[in-house]
Amino acid sequence: MLTIIENILDDEQVLNFRQKLEAAEWTDGAESAGTRSVKVKQNLQLGRQNPLAVELGNIILRKLGNDPLFVSASLAEKIWPPIFNLYQNGGHYGTHSDAALMRLPEANMTIRSDLSATLFLSNPEDYDGGELVIEERYGAQPVKLAAGDMILYPSASLHQVTPVTRGKRICAITWIQSAVADASAREMLFDLDQSIQALTPDRPDDDPDIDRLIHVYHNMLRRWASV
Ligand code: NI
């Protein structure tokens, strides 16, 4: 399942992020790639401990925690501190899959990547290429979103970023360990939750059918979640 979450950041925040990031000290992204992906990765990155990456990453984490669609779709248990990437001058990231287990020594944290997320920070009209292409069950999906919007996609998928042939593509990426590891179970919970949310406004506060659906939702979550 691919989930687009619009307006994680508003226009003013995106502008502020971009101004700060364009003045930042970027390093070669290959430094943090695994032995196989280093051959296909050509981009720039902000070091994980760079104070600007930490500051902006924390803003994103707060936004995600308060976004009902993100919470419902991800059932996030742990979120990797966001990483910032810059692609320009043909920069790209060839087809690869993300590591299943990721270790953050400074926080003594290991996460299992269930979901990958890309938050677009550049306006799509300001660069050519730079599509995130995700290979899904039904074929390859090219994704290029408005600045401030995020896509959530399965970390198990093969994906790539096509070469940026004009302008700059800046984005933030992160990985999520979900409380529900099984993607199809997570998708059923998401569908049920979305329907409950859609039905609730038209029903009285004490509607017994809504109560029962919520009851079912939580019992399914209890069955499938591990925390
Ligand atoms: Ni990736």
10 Å CB burial of residue 136 (0-12, 13-18, 19+) is: middle
Q: 19 with 56, same domain?
A: yes
Q: How confident is the model at residue 75 (pLDDT cuts 50, 70, 90)?
A: very high
Q: Are 40 and 94 in contact (CB under 8 A)?
A: yes
> By percentage, how much of the chain surpasses pLDDT 70?
96
3-state secondary structure (DSSP) of residue 141: strand
Do 134 and 199 share a structural domain?
Answer: no
Distance from Cα 35 to the centre of ligand 1, integer Å: 14
- What's the CA-to-centroid distance between 211 and ligand 1, angstroms? 40
Digit-coded pLDDT (tens) for 110-139: 999 999 999 999 999 999 999 999 998 889
How many A from CA of 186 to the centre of ligand 1?
21
Q: How many angstroms separate the CA atoms of 7 and 65, rounded?
A: 14
pLDDT of 102 strictly over 80: yes
Ligand 1 centroid to Cα of residue 115, in Å, is 10
Round the average pLDDT of the chain to a whole number and report it.
94
- Same structural domain, 105 and 206: no
Q: What's the pLDDT band for 29 if we cut at 50, 70, 90?
A: confident
Same domain, 159 and 187: no
CA distance 179 to 225: 5
- Mean pLDDT along residues 41-58: 92
134, 198: one domain: no
CATH of the domain at 196: 4.10.860
In a shared domain, residues 151 and 212: no
* Residue 60 amino acid letter: I
Query: Tokens 């038209």 belong to which residue?
Result: 202
Same-domain pairing of 59 and 147? yes
Q: 31 pLDDT band (50/70/90 cuts)?
A: confident
For residue 176, report the distance from its CA to the centre of ligand 1, in Å: 13
Residue 38 CA to residue 217 CA, distance in Å, equals 42
What's the CA-to-centroid distance between 215 and ligand 1, angstroms? 37
In this predicted structure, what is the pLDDT of residue 146?
98
What's the gap in Å between 97 CA and the centre of ligand 1?
6
What's the structural domain count of the chain? 2
Question: CB of 114 within 8 A of CB of 177?
Answer: yes
The whole-angstrom distance between residue 163's C-alpha and the CA centroid of its chain comes to 20
Instruction: Band the pLDDT of 38: cuts 50, 70, 90.
Output: low
**In the prediction, which pLDDT does 136 show?**
87
Q: Do 165 and 91 belong together in one domain?
A: yes
* 99, amino acid identity: A
Distance 9 CA to ligand 1 centre (A): 22
CATH number of the domain where residue 9 is located: 2.60.120.620
Residues 195 and 172 in one domain: no
For residues 95 and 192, state if they share a domain.
Answer: no
Task: Answer yes or no: do 159 and 52 share one domain.
Answer: yes
What pLDDT, on the 0 to 100 scale, is given for residue 182? 96
Q: What pLDDT, on the 0 to 100 scale, is given for residue 35?
A: 64
Neighbours of ion ligand 1 (CB under 5 A): 98
Residue 17 pLDDT greater than 90, yes or no: yes
How far from the centroid of its chain's Cα atoms is residue 103's Cα? 18
CB 43 within 8 Å of CB 93 = yes
- Cα dist from 120 to 11, 14, 61, whole Å: 12, 9, 15
Using left for φ > 0, alpha for ψ between -120 and 50, and beta otherwise, residue 89 falls in left
Q: How far is the CA of 142 from the centre of ligand 1 (A)?
A: 14
Task: Find the distance separating the first CA and the last CA of the chain, reported in whole Å.
Answer: 22
Q: From the CA of 54, how far away is ligand 1's center (Å)?
A: 20
Cα-to-centroid distance, 93 and ligand 1 (Å):
8
Mean pLDDT of 136-155: 95
Domain that holds residue 105: 3-178
Question: Highest-confidence range of 46-55, 133-142, 217-226, by mean pLDDT?
Answer: 217-226
The alpha carbon of 216 and the centre of ligand 1 are apart by a number of angstroms equal to 35
Q: Does the global pTM surpass 0.85? A: yes
